[in-house]
Amino acid sequence: MTSLRSVPSGDQPEGTGGESPHHAAPPPDPNAVYGALLRRSALGDEAAFAELYDATSPRVYGLVLRVVRNPSQAEEVTQEAYLEVWRTASRFDPDRGSALSWLMTIAHRKSVDRVRSAEASTRRDTSYHQQAGQVDHDATAEAAYASLEAERVRTALGALTEVQHEAVRLAYFGGYTHTEVAAMLDLPVGTAKTRIRDGLIRLRDAMGVGQ
């Protein structure tokens, strides 16, 4: 994960006379850093988005997990949230709140939507089962396709590289966790996460979403 801590100054240069640490520059404000990364992301800066993702995704994932209470689904919802962040970064307004709050709001909304979708699917399944005695559809796959605008995303997947396409397909439509995707593709977990993240960036571009 990208660290936001100040880089250690190391040995003092000659002639400083051992200045007091009180003269050291203050550490950067994380939200100022996140805000700057969001603004760069809105301009299509993929490196800035990757840095923002690495710096904030543990906290975002933690929030999502507390809501959906399922690790694999929490990973899916986290990725969906970052796809929306990448697509809508230009909408961030620092006058209305911090960058992290904006990210967490998107993640919380996605989490609540997933829980409601799951509950609705359960009610439909129960009702159908009571009336017909069986359930003839995969509610989890249905919810995943609906949440990612199935037709547009399937078309946009064609713009990905083969490795990105496979990683995103397994993560989203196969319902596998990052660890499982890594195992299936014989990759380190970090590499699998990077391919999924890069796939999100290219999906946004391929879907032709304006800034």
Domains of the chain: 29-206 (1.10.1740.10)
Which of 6-20, 44-58, 147-161 has the lowest average pLDDT? 6-20
Q: What percent of the chain has pLDDT over 90?
A: 29
Nearest to 109 by CA among 153, 68, 72, 139: 68
Q: Supply 89's token pair.
A: 């970064």
- Phi/psi of residue 164, nearest 5 degrees: -65, -40
As a whole number of Å, the end-to-end CA separation of the chain is: 27
Query: Is residue 165 packed enough to be buried (19+ CB in 10 Å), middle (13-18) or exposed (0-12)?
Result: middle
pLDDT at 211: 43
- The pLDDT of 172-189, averaged and rounded, is 73
Residue 29 pLDDT level (bands cut at 50, 70, 90): confident
Residue 114 has pLDDT above 70, yes or no: yes
Element (H, E) at 65: helix 46-68
Residue that wins the pLDDT comparison between 59 and 143 = 59
- Comparing 196 with 183, which gets the higher pLDDT? 196
Query: Does 94 score more than 80 pLDDT?
Result: yes
Going by pLDDT thresholds of 50, 70 and 90, the confidence category of residue 15 is: very low
pLDDT for the residue 173? 59
pLDDT over 80 at 136, yes or no = no
Which range (94-108, 115-129, 131-145) has the least confidence? 131-145
Q: Stretch 50-78: mean pLDDT, rounded?
A: 91
- 86 closest CA partner among 121, 48, 112: 48
The per-residue b/e assignment along 170-205, b for 16 or more CB within 10 angstroms, e otherwise, is bbbbebbbbebbbeebebeeeebbbbbbbbbbbbbe
Mean pLDDT score, 76-95: 92
